[in-house]
Structure 1
Amino acid sequence: MNNQLIDQFIDFYWLTTGASQNTLSAYRSDLKIFSNWLKDIPFENVNRLLVNEYFSYRKDSKLSASSQSRILTCLHSFFQYLIEHQVITNDPTDQMNYPKLDKKLPIFLNIQEVEKLMNAPNINSTIGQRDRAMIELLYSCGLRVSELINLSFHNINLKDEFIRVHGKGNKERMLPLGEISIDYLAAYEKNVRPLLLKNGQCDSYFLSNRGSAMSRQNFFYIIKGYAAQAGIDKTISPHSLRHAFATHLVQKGADLRSVQLMLGHSDISSTQLYTHIQNAHLKTQHQKHHPRG
């Protein structure tokens, strides 16, 4: 019965929130692990004491605070669903305290490092032209890697200088294209994409060597390779360019609301992270260069 309720909840959550497959998979896994821990106890008999025991058990297995927070959010949503469908009458997670999360600033690239990364691909090669276009677009628009690799050909309008992006929860946003990225995208469309397509059919904008859609894992390794080639001594990923995009906008004076819209953040508190990065950068510069720093 527990497994059936989990499947029904995941379907409901997807239909009502439009959550990504990654989120749905994580929630399904969280609930399966919780159900297995309960053994023969049905969800209808779960109380606050049991939930607290479960989190004590997970803490002992060195579960991070962020993972604990996600699990609590998942359980709360699940028990609210059970209340709405009259399976239970009380939510055992109601008013439970979330674990305190460490505020770690993300690793981001400065402008010089972005330039080094941009110049790493060999633009005299087919693959190098594709990779340069992808990196330019990622930094130009601050895309999530999933948004980049899921772009369809009809999402990009070089003539009117914008792209249409479907972000988290399938929320659509329109983003302006910079002139440099337009040049590289135009060259990719004309010289590279037809060769990668190999007379096949694929609506994905960026293609792999096999003529199919570029995968998240493949592009992750591409970025890591170019970072090493450029001599960038930081642990970076495609998401580092999204952080760089937002940080550099804030450093140049862009208002937070505009940055929020471009990033597709539903809550401006997520965007405020980049003011913390800016403040940390200024503090470092003061300590480094001021005679009394």
Structure 2
Amino acid sequence: MDDTNQYLNNFITYLQIEKNYSEYTVTFYKDDIREFFSFMNEQNLHSLSEIEYFDARLFLTGLHEKRLARASISRKISSIRSFFRFLNREKLIIENPFALVSSPKSEKRLPEFFYEEEMENLLQACEGHKPIQVRNRAMFELFYATGIRVSECAGLRIKDIDFSLSTVLVKGKGSKERYVPFGTFAHEALEQYINISRGQLMKNGEHEFVFVNYKGGPLTARGMRHVLNTIIKDASLNGKIHPHMLRHTFATHLLNNGADLRTVQELLGHENLSSTQIYTHVTKDHLRRTYLNHHPRA
């Protein structure tokens, strides 16, 4: 298996440069493919060109035997299929053994989101006058106001924020750009952070990224996840927060308050409407509960 690691490195470079995937996404690809390399060692397979459809099926069977969630299995198969497609494109293998391996149908899980009362508790947990607290409040307000992904937030630069129009230029997946408006709460929190606290955190450093860590460097996506987990702990809410919950909350609250699906699709940066339609299940559940709670003949 002398060439496998080099092939993986080439593939990772392709994901980073040509596909412009985030560091978080690339890590998943890398881990999934390395898991397949371990399987090759166990099966005494020495070359990627040796892999056949039977081997791919055997690997899939092993994933099922580990009782992994269907979504995890689908992601792993998709990662490895993409890897072999890349090798085929580079003429390093003749056929993609994973081309005909079908991923398990994903569970129709509704997106998790916070209720408005929970959001108030979370926002109160961000309050404070220390530079880090002001930064955390601005970041949290921006997540809730725009529904942007954590990788998009980590990549924001000062020039991307237009305070005169209260909009932010977001660079999404595949280098696609979109303008997203934000409201007065996010506007005030961002102005306070950028005009006062950001300079205090920068400590004479120089870079254009909006959010900075306590050392003055750019705050990474991983750092943002840590900040959000700290906020939920301070708010005394059960469970762990992940940035996508704020994205789900943004979409759900918009739809619950009358926004149309196409607008939400554009704000989220979804290429297909089907990606946004899952939120209609959440809002239908909200309507049903409201009806049962308030209609006299329910």
Distance, in Å, in 2 between the alignment partners of 1:288 and 1:233 is 25
Distance, in Å, in 2 between the alignment partners of 1:224 and 1:82 is 39
**Matched position secondary structure for 1:173:** strand
CA RMSD, Structure 1 to Structure 2 (Å): 2.3
Cα 1:78–1:215, aligned 2, differ >3 Å: closer, same or farther? closer
Moved more, 164-173 or 231-240: 231-240
Which residue matches 1:215?
Answer: 220
Report the AA paired with residue 283 of structure 1.
R
Which residue matches 1:183?
Answer: 188
Which residue matches 2:155?
Answer: 150
1:162 and 1:176 in contact (8 A); partners too: yes
Count of paired positions: 293
1:202 and 1:211 in contact (8 A); partners too: no
Work out whether 1:138 is the aligned partner of 2:166: no
Which residue matches 2:275?
Answer: 270
Cα 1:66–1:128, aligned 2, differ >3 Å: closer, same or farther? same
1:149 and 1:206 in contact (8 A); partners too: yes
Distance, in Å, in 2 between the alignment partners of 1:14 and 1:219 is 21
Cα 1:32–1:164, aligned 2, differ >3 Å: closer, same or farther? same
Report the AA paired with residue 118 of structure 2.
E
Which residue matches 2:232?
Answer: 227
Distance, in Å, in 2 between the alignment partners of 1:80 and 1:231 is 46
**Matched position secondary structure for 2:18:** helix
Q: CA deviation at 1:189?
A: 1.9
Work out whether 1:9 is the aligned partner of 2:11: yes
Distance, in Å, in 2 between the alignment partners of 1:78 and 1:221 is 30
Task: Write the deviation string for residues 27-74 of structure 1: whole angstroms up to 9, x where unpaired.
Answer: 222222212322333222221111111111222223321121112212
Structure 2 unmatched ranges of 5 or more: none
Distance, in Å, in 2 between the alignment partners of 1:280 and 1:62 is 30
Instruction: Pick from 249, 253, 259 the counterpart of residue 254 of structure 1.
Output: 259
Distance, in Å, in 2 between the alignment partners of 1:235 and 1:5 is 36
Cα 1:58–1:171, aligned 2, differ >3 Å: closer, same or farther? same
Residue pairs, 1:62-211, within 5 angstroms: 62-211=67-216
Which residue matches 1:31?
Answer: 33
Task: Write the deviation string for residues 167-190 of structure 1: whole angstroms up to 9, x where unpaired.
Answer: 223322211122222122112222
Stretches of 4+ aligned residues off by more than 6 angstroms: none
Structure 1 unmatched ranges of 5 or more: none
Query: TM-score if structure 2 supplies the norm length?
Result: 0.87
Q: CA deviation at 1:141?
A: 0.8
